[in-house]
Copies of this chain bind each other. A is one copy, B any other.
Amino acid sequence: MKLKIKEYREELQLTQKELAEKINNSQRNISNWESGASEPDCETIIKLAEIFDISIDQLFGREPQYSVREPAMGIDYNILKEVRNLTDTQKFALMQFLREIHY
């Protein structure tokens, strides 16, 4: 069984190493899971679904289950969704804001 880890990781533009750090695991394990050489345990499967903000069924490559209630979005995804809707001018303002946050 090969979970759809690579697909969702790349969607978030994370490297294997970055994803590994987010779930306290090794880059090599991410590689193994993505290739199907091994499988993450159930606890890790949940972590992955949470980071990708998808259902476990989706991570397993099954049909998404359409939600009736408000989806429990992850904070990263909420931000990305907002950013996508910005105009170029607003994006410029956002970049300035990000610079201020850093320094």
Contact = CB atoms under 8 A, between A and B. Distances in A.
Contacts of A99: 82
A67 interface: yes
B73 A80 contact: no
Interface string A59-103: 010101111110111111111111111101011111101110110
Given A72-B81, A75-B91, A95-B79, A65 B67 contact: yes
Interface residues of A, number: 56
13 contacts: A1-B43, A18-B84, A54-B67, A54-B69, A55-B62, A57-B57, A66-B72, A67-B68, A75-B88, A80-B83, A82-B95, A90-B101, A94-B97
A60 B65 contact: no
Interface of A: 1, 3, 11-14, 18, 39, 41-43, 45-46, 49, 53-58, 60, 62, 64-69, 71-86, 88, 90-95, 97-99, 101-102
A76 B80 CA distance: 9
